[in-house]
Amino acid sequence: MPTAEHLILRELLAREPNWLSGSRLAAKLGVSRVAVWQHMGKLRADGFTFEARRARGYRLVSRPAGPHAALIETQLKVRPQDFSLLVLDEVDSTNDEAARQLAAGRAAPFAVIARRQIRGRGRLGRAWHSEANGNLYASIAFRPRVAPDRMAAFTLWMGLNLCELLANFAKVTPGLKWPNDLLLDGRKVGGILTEARIDSDQIRDLVFGLGLNINAPTEDWPPALARRAVSLAEIAGEPFDFNRLTAALLGRVLLAYDNFADGTYLKTFADLWHRFDVLRGKTIVLIEGDRRHRGTVTGLDDEGALLLRDALGRTQRFRAGEVTFDPAS
């Protein structure tokens, strides 16, 4: 059920950059002009600023830079009964909060977004730097009934969809580095951490965690991180509208999930893979536990495992691992 704040935001966004008359807004909401003024006060407290003129009404001047639930929901093209959103100021990890919500029975799909994570987690037990700095920390929870061996293909499919969305939305040229790194200009702009609870031979629930560097000023990052990572804003030369981009990303994730669940993803997977894969034909080192494998990437198998041809011409498949480009090649 949209709140009065949702309705006001929807109307103001639709009119942007024009004025919206207070009496029209009041009529749309079915409340008095005084009540409209009170609701706008609530939005002001959240970080919105408005211009108000007696003869013309209201105009949106600026909006909160960080995650804002109503602003995301208003711009998300998904029926509210099909999805819910939890926006938090601070959390240990959005993946952990999503898992707690699933365990408590919250209806899926839903997303958890936090302005800051205290224990943001990356793959392979690493920490994910998660300050309140204009970056996105999001987890989207699903209850799919699919076999666990489809997880790798799911993560790749989601990564490809995110690449296409970023290419269209941000006019950048992203790449996907198997299995889950989103790259821009050879540096990491985002990472995916998919986690699932398995029930006998089926996935019971699944959390798709996404960390995306949107607006962080990279000069504030620890030097080792700034060498490897980049933000969208740094590449584009200007900040992005965080909540508009987040709404577009969530919409795409939900659509991509449906395509995965009904099998239609197979129609476009190969095309997207050829467009965004950055490893094909490259000589790499794949680290798997304490073993290192050097070889040339020849492609993927049906389950999303990476195919690597070694110096003797033998092809091996890897379901997991950490890839680095071979400096000797």
Q: Does 139 bind ligand BTN (CB under 6 A)?
A: yes
- Return the range that interacts with ligand BTN (CB under 6 A); candidates 80-88, 136-144, 231-239, 261-269: 136-144
For β-strands 84-91 and 110-117, DSSP reports them as parallel
Q: Does 175 bind ligand BTN (CB under 6 A)?
A: no
Q: Does 39 bind ligand BTN (CB under 6 A)?
A: no
44 φ, ψ (degrees, to nearest 5):
-60, -40
Q: Does 67 bind ligand BTN (CB under 6 A)?
A: no
- Return the range that interacts with ligand BTN (CB under 6 A); candidates 115-123, 154-162, 287-295, 298-306: 115-123
84: β partners: 110
CA distance 317 to 302: 11
Give whichever of 156 and 210 is closer to ligand BTN, judged by the CB atom: 210
At its nearest, how many Å lie between ligand BTN and the CB of residue 58?
35
Q: Does 253 bind ligand BTN (CB under 6 A)?
A: no
- Across the beta sheet with 306-309, the strand order is 315-318, 306-309, 291-300, 283-288, 322-325
Bond prior to 217 in cis (omega within 30° of 0): no
Helix (H, G, I), strand (E, B) or coil at 146: coil
At its nearest, how many Å lie between ligand BTN and the CB of residue 25?
36
CA distance 43 to 38: 9
Residue 241 sits at the vertex; the CA angle it makes with 237 and 242, to the nearest 5 degrees, is: 110
Bond prior to 179 in cis (omega within 30° of 0): yes
Residues 179-218, mask of contacts with ligand BTN (x by CB under 6 A): -xx---------xxx---------------xxx-------
Binding-site ranges for ligand BTN (CB under 6 A) = 93-95, 117, 120-123, 126, 128, 137-139, 180-181, 191-193, 209-211
